[in-house]
Structure 1
Amino acid sequence: MIKASINLKGDFMQHKQFNGNAWRFETLPRVCLLSLICLILLGSRVLIIKNAAAESNESAKWQSVISKTPTKVEVKKIKSIKYPRELVYCGTLEEYESIPLCFSVIGIVSKVFVREGDKVKAGQLLATLDEANYKNLYDMAAAKEKQAEDAYNRLKRMYKNDSLPEVKMIEVETGLKEARSATAIALKNLKSCALYATTDGMIGRKAI
């Protein structure tokens, strides 16, 4: 609490000797000043009380927070997790090495077992031709080879007994060799009706 006192006794006694109008004119400023001082003191007191109340409320607030039971929390250690990352791009893939594959014989394609973009392994069957004609040619060559072998075995005994001229025996041997060669070619063509991958890779383009 702030106390203030103003001694106006001397002034009051001094001006009391003048008439009423002069006395009121002389003392009016002092009365206004006194009222202003009282208002300032009253406002200061109200401000001090308000600040004290605010500090009291803030202190009570923090005291209530401190007095509360602390909340239990669970702490976990951060772990690093690896996951596959996929990247999506637009573009054209170009092969590092291109290996053209085709049938070594002429024919009609009967089956295709792969598509463009498929991954293949070495030795994997890719496509086949209609092998009916090549199968017949092989059977015919094998039959002729059989006949040539029978003729060779029969005439060989005659040649050993000097019953067959050497020229005839050479013709028989030559016929047997030609028959065997024809059979080997027919078998190779028959096997060529199947197309296999020569190495691991991917089908880039399919023309059949």
Structure 2
Amino acid sequence: MKSIHYATLLLCIPLFYACNHSNQAVSKKTGNDTIPVKIMKLNQENTNAAIAVSGQFTTDDEVMLSFKTGGIINSLLVKEGDAVKKGQLLATLNLTEINAQVQQAQLSYEKAKRDYQRTKNLYTDSVATLEQLQNSKTSLQVAGQQLNLVAFNRKYSEIHAPENGFILRKLADAGQQVSSGTAVLQVNGAQSGKWQLKVGISDREWAILKLNDHATIETTAVPGQMLDGVVSRKSEGVDAATGTFTAYITLTGNKPKAIAAGMFGKATLHPSRTTEHKGTWQIPYEALLDGDGNSGFVFITNDNRTAHKVKVTVAGIEKNTVTISDGLQDAGALIISGSAYLTDHSAISIH
């Protein structure tokens, strides 16, 4: 009788463990339905707030001047900082070589002219053929174009000031041999008062600023005086040297004479108050999913229990953050950790 009881007990043990394992699996599955995440409260930034920047004064007509032909510099007639007038002679090459080329072209042209006239007379007397006359005329035209070419090169073996302005830099010296197109002088048209302040701005600032936004500028060259300006231009790409975008602030109103190229200045930019200037949000780079151009997706939560996937508009990307300009207006909190395991309407737990 005891052996029957023992046998029955042994048969029940596997069934007991099977039921217990099933209960544990159900319990484990129920517990893992909620995904642990970390969240961040969202604070909308005011894009109408003033932006402080700094940079250097320049003009919109800075230009590098060079010779059309290569050769040895004969003379440099100006120094850095000199004021120049439009058309003023600034530098010359040694003209021995180019003058020889001009003379050679002139002699070739004169010979071609004589040959054409001789062939024309022979053609009139029915001695030369029409083909010989046409070939002679073509040779004359080629020689004339060659003369025009070397005369043009002779003209641009001298450098003249393109506008009233100042010499910013002297990049070569008399006696130096330079090749065609090598920069010799850098000049600008500062005498016309076209001053600009060139400043670096971040991605977020680039997205906020619009052309003609007002700016106030100050510089130690005119202490105590605030200069007015407007944003006249924004770069369409990042400066590889600085890693920032570039904006140009053109001075308006009275322009002081004490400003010089390269001088340091500070500016306060005032973004215009238009409907385009909505608030923005700064979020961690890791929170953005499936980024494509100026759009992407993030997970948010409004009740700390359910995750929702929403589409957002990207206004700029910086080193560790992303600027969002649209899509988070109705978000209570942003999910910044655990997003990779989420789907829309996933249950979450805050950690």
TM-score by length of 2: 0.32
Q: How does 1:171-190 map to 2 (within 5 A)?
A: 171-190=135-154
Residue 94 in structure 1 maps to residue 34 in structure 2: no
**Structure number, greater radius of gyration:** 1
Give the secondary structure class of the aligned counterpart of 2:57. coil
Residue 122 in structure 1 maps to residue 86 in structure 2: yes
Q: Deviations over 1:51-108 (max 9, x none)?
A: xxxxxxxxxxxxxxxxxxxxxxxxxxxxxxxxxxxxxxxxx96321212211111111
**Offset of 1:155 from its aligned partner?**
1.0
- Structure 2: gaps (5+ residues): 1-54, 173-351
Query: For the residues of structure 2 that align with 1:103 and 1:94, how far apart are their CA atoms?
Result: 27
Match of 2:129 among 145, 154, 165: 165
Query: For the residues of structure 2 that align with 1:147 and 1:188, how far apart are their CA atoms?
Result: 21
The code of the aligned residue for 1:168 comes to Q
Give the secondary structure class of the aligned counterpart of 2:59. coil
Q: 2:74 corresponds to which residue?
A: 110
The code of the aligned residue for 1:110 comes to N
Q: Deviations over 1:3-32 (max 9, x none)?
A: xxxxxxxxxxxxxxxxxxxxxxxxxxxxxx
Query: For the residues of structure 1 that align with 2:123 and 2:58, how far apart are their CA atoms?
Result: 63
Query: For the residues of structure 2 that align with 1:119 and 1:157, how far apart are their CA atoms?
Result: 58
Give the secondary structure class of the aligned counterpart of 1:205. strand
Query: For the residues of structure 2 that align with 1:172 and 1:157, how far apart are their CA atoms?
Result: 12
Equivalenced residue count is 117
Q: 1:148 corresponds to which residue?
A: 112
Give the secondary structure class of the aligned counterpart of 1:110. strand
Choose between structure 1 and 2: higher strand proportion. Answer: 2
RMSD between aligned alpha carbons?
1.4
Query: For the residues of structure 1 that align with 2:117 and 2:159, how far apart are their CA atoms?
Result: 38
Q: Deviations over 1:149-208 (max 9, x none)?
A: 111111101112222111111110010001111111111111211100010000111101
Q: 1:202 corresponds to which residue?
A: 166
Query: For the residues of structure 1 that align with 2:65 and 2:169, how far apart are their CA atoms?
Result: 11
Query: For the residues of structure 1 that align with 2:56 and 2:71, how far apart are their CA atoms?
Result: 32
- Structure 1: gaps (5+ residues): 1-91
The code of the aligned residue for 2:98 comes to Y
The code of the aligned residue for 1:183 comes to L
Give the secondary structure class of the aligned counterpart of 1:162. coil
The code of the aligned residue for 2:79 comes to R
Deviates more, 1:94-103 or 1:115-124: 94-103
Give the secondary structure class of the aligned counterpart of 1:95. strand
Give the secondary structure class of the aligned counterpart of 2:120. helix
Query: For the residues of structure 2 that align with 1:194 and 1:140, how far apart are their CA atoms?
Result: 20
Choose between structure 1 and 2: higher helix proportion. Answer: 1
TM-score by length of 1: 0.54
